[in-house]
Amino acid sequence: MQKMNYRLDGRNVFFTSDTHFYHTNIIEFCNRPFKNMEDMNETLIANWNKAVGPDDIVFHLGDFCLGDSRKWNRILDRLNGKIHLILGNHDLRNFRKSYAERFESVAMQTHIEVDNQKICLNHYPFLCYDGSYDGVWQLFGHVHTNRNDTGNDAARLKMLFPTQYDVGVDNNDFTPASYAQVKEIIEKQIRQSKKGGYDLP
């Protein structure tokens, strides 16, 4: 793993979370539109590589893959980009040294700056975080938000700052979201909050 450069140019930065490669049960649990686990894996890989180029930077905010080292390496062999992993709850159960070094960095939490925008990255949404009142973004996953149903966490998610956003695949057409896309969404949420409230996109 290389030392992380925490100040980045937004033109080639992407965010995603909760791919859950090789996790069959996630299809029913999150009502994902896939026939089976193989269909899910192949669609996620195709969508990823369509959006992300070989030299792009991807921050994966956890719950990357289930299974042994062969499965992790099989997926990593096929994905474009330089991937930084923020560990999720499923990763902590499955993480092994044999593929840890395939990632550019591995951390429980990371703070970065993209085009002068400070961003806190964690697998989980925070009720409060450093800089939350000063325009710092917090990107997260874990809750599997989608546009039709925010599930068991719906009530809690209404308490989030407009500068927070779920970058998980369920909330982003099963595709990594570019910095530009996230910026547009958060700026819209901020505008809506100033008018008296906003709904999660």
Better-predicted residue by pLDDT, 80 or 198: 80
Check whether 103 has a pLDDT greater than 60: yes
* DSSP notation for 63-131: --B-S-HHHHHHHHTT--SEEEEE--HHHHHH--HHHHTTSSEEESEEEEEETTEEEEEESS--SS-TT
**Is 199 domain-assigned?**
no
Check whether 19 has a pLDDT greater than 50: yes
The pLDDT score that the predictor gives to residue 196 is 73
**Is 201 domain-assigned?**
no
**Is 137 domain-assigned?**
yes
Nearest to 157 by CA among 135, 189, 115: 189
Q: 66 pLDDT band (50/70/90 cuts)?
A: very high
Q: Which residues pair with 171 in a beta bridge?
A: none
Check whether 16 has a pLDDT greater than 50: yes
**Region 75-93: what's the mean pLDDT?**
93
Q: 100 pLDDT band (50/70/90 cuts)?
A: confident
**Is 170 domain-assigned?**
yes
Q: Provide the residue range defining the domain that includes 109.
A: 7-194
* Distance (Å) of CA 153 to CA 134, 146, 158, 196: 25, 11, 9, 22
**Is 200 domain-assigned?**
no
The pLDDT score that the predictor gives to residue 169 is 97
Report d(CA 9, CA 13) in Å as an integer.
Answer: 7
For the chain, the domain total comes to 1
Check whether 198 has a pLDDT greater than 80: no
**Is 68 domain-assigned?**
yes
The pLDDT score that the predictor gives to residue 195 is 82
CATH code, domain carrying 83? 3.60.21.10
**Region 104-114: what's the mean pLDDT?**
95
Which two structure tokens, joined as six digits, stand for 155? 């009530």
